[in-house]
Structure 1
Amino acid sequence: MAGNQTGSISLICTANAAAPGGHYAQAVVHQGVLYVSGQLPIRADGVHSADQPFEVQASIALDNLVAILSAAGRSTSDLLKVTVYVAGIEHWPAFDRIYAGYLGEHRPARAVVPVPALHHGYLIEIEAVARSG
């Protein structure tokens, strides 16, 4: 597993997802559970995508989630709970279609929360909880 060890909490960090923009880790593992911080649709190289269509933003945010899961030795089939913040509930059908493409038959618990706005003008942010090995 990638990351630094701090007591019984392992910090997960990968260059294959957007670097944290503040004082937080991309993800942490504690007692067999992986907690993934909210992922905005910022590309791994730091390029912002707030000017891109919702579908592009959703794919980038999901790519970040998948990269962090991979860095922790996990996959989307290990997801237990996903929370999605969407600026505008009208994006829900597009998100559901894209999300299903990433997760296939796996169906973790999920909440889609409509919000009036997200940081930097983004249209989506995704956080997740997964089992860890």
Structure 2
Amino acid sequence: MANTKRRIVRAAGAPTPTGQYNQAVIVDKTMYISGFVGFDPATTTLVPGGVREQTEQTLKNIGEVLKAAGATYNNVVKTTVLLTDMNDYAVVNEVYGKYFSENKPARAAYQIGCLPAREAKVEIEAVAVLGNIVDGKL
């Protein structure tokens, strides 16, 4: 049986994990990015403001992890968005569209009771495929 290489991603520009997980794990050419909330990487506290500011910071944090692996938002093929209030969906979607504007990844969005960071309003996780992406449509 052939070995499969697993690499751990640690991006200095993204918040350090506060639990028993990594920012991201790469297996072959697939990168699994842990769920991020709107933590300021310097302070590991939520950015001031509401869901708009938290979503912006969340996506910036994901961008730092992508950059550490030599990828961009264009490499993202799937995201999951967790919201504490589905009424925030339109605002989150507006901010999200600035980062995933042309070839949007597949996505699921759910409302949940609360997030581990109790005041967080949004968490986003992602799956990216590394390498040069050639887009096409079926």
TM-score by length of 2: 0.87
For residues 35-54 of structure 1, the aligned pairs below 5 Å read 35-49=32-46, 52-54=49-51
Please, which of 103, 107, 124 is the counterpart of residue 106 of structure 1? 103
Please, which of 27, 41, 44 is the counterpart of residue 30 of structure 1? 27
Q: Partner of 1:127 in structure 2?
A: 125
RMSD across aligned positions (CA) = 1.3
Offset of residue 34 of structure 1: 0.5
Please, which of 84, 88, 92 is the counterpart of residue 87 of structure 1? 84
* Distance in 2 of aligned mates of 1:25 and 1:97: 28
The size of the alignment, in residue pairs, is: 127
Report if the CA contact (8 A) 1:36-1:129 is conserved: yes
* Distance in 2 of aligned mates of 1:51 and 1:75: 26
* Distance in 1 of aligned mates of 2:66 and 2:43: 19
* Distance in 2 of aligned mates of 1:76 and 1:126: 13
Report if the CA contact (8 A) 1:19-1:46 is conserved: no
Report if the CA contact (8 A) 2:47-2:57 is conserved: no
* Distance in 2 of aligned mates of 1:118 and 1:29: 25
Offset of residue 51 of structure 1: 5.5
Offset of residue 71 of structure 1: 0.5
Structure 1 counterpart SS, 2:16: coil
Q: Which structure has the larger Rg over C-alpha atoms?
A: 2
* Distance in 2 of aligned mates of 1:55 and 1:119: 19
Offset of residue 50 of structure 1: 6.6
Unaligned segments of structure 2, at least 5 residues: 132-138
Q: Partner of 1:16 in structure 2?
A: 13
Structure 2 counterpart SS, 1:34: strand
Report if the CA contact (8 A) 1:50-1:120 is conserved: no
Please, which of 96, 99, 103 is the counterpart of residue 93 of structure 2? 96
Offset of residue 47 of structure 1: 3.5
* Distance in 1 of aligned mates of 2:28 and 2:74: 19
TM-score by length of 1: 0.90
Offset of residue 44 of structure 1: 1.2
Unaligned segments of structure 1, at least 5 residues: 1-6
